[in-house]
Structure 1
Amino acid sequence: MSLLNQTIENHQSFFILTGIPEMPEKDLWMALPLCLLYSTTIPGNVTILVVIKVEQSFHEPMYYFLAMLAATDLSLSLSSMPTMVSVHWFNRCSKTFNVCLIQMFFIHTFGGVESGILVAMAFDCFVAISFPLRYATILTHSVISKIAAAVLLWSVVTVLPVPFLIKRLPFCHSNVLSHAYCLHQDAMRHACADTNVNIIYGLLAVIFIIVLDALILLVSYILILQAVLGVASQEERLKGLNTCLSHICAVMLFYVPLIGMTLIHCYGKHLPPIIHTFMADIYLLLPPVLNPIVYIVRTK
Structure 2
Amino acid sequence: MGSREVGLPETVGASGLPDRVTIWEVGARDGLQNESSVVPVGVKLEFLDRLADAGLTVLEATSFVRPEWVPQLADAEELLAGLARRPGVSYPVLVPNERGLDRALAAGVRHVAIFASATETFARRNLNRSLDEQFAMFEPVVARARAEGLDVRGYVSMCFGDPWEGAVPREQVIGVGKRLLDMGCSQLSLGDTIGVATPGQVTALLAGFDDVGALAVHFHDTYGQALANTLAALQAGVRTVDSSAGGLGGCPYAESATGNLATEDLVWMLDGLGVEHGVDLDALADTSAWLAGVLGRPSPSRVVRALRG
Q: TM-score, normalised by structure 1?
A: 0.26
Which of the two has greater strand per residue? 2
Structure number, greater radius of gyration:
1
Q: TM-score, normalised by structure 2?
A: 0.26
Instruction: For CA contacts below 8 A with separation 6 or more, give which structure has more relative contact order.
Output: 1
Which of the two has greater helix per residue? 1
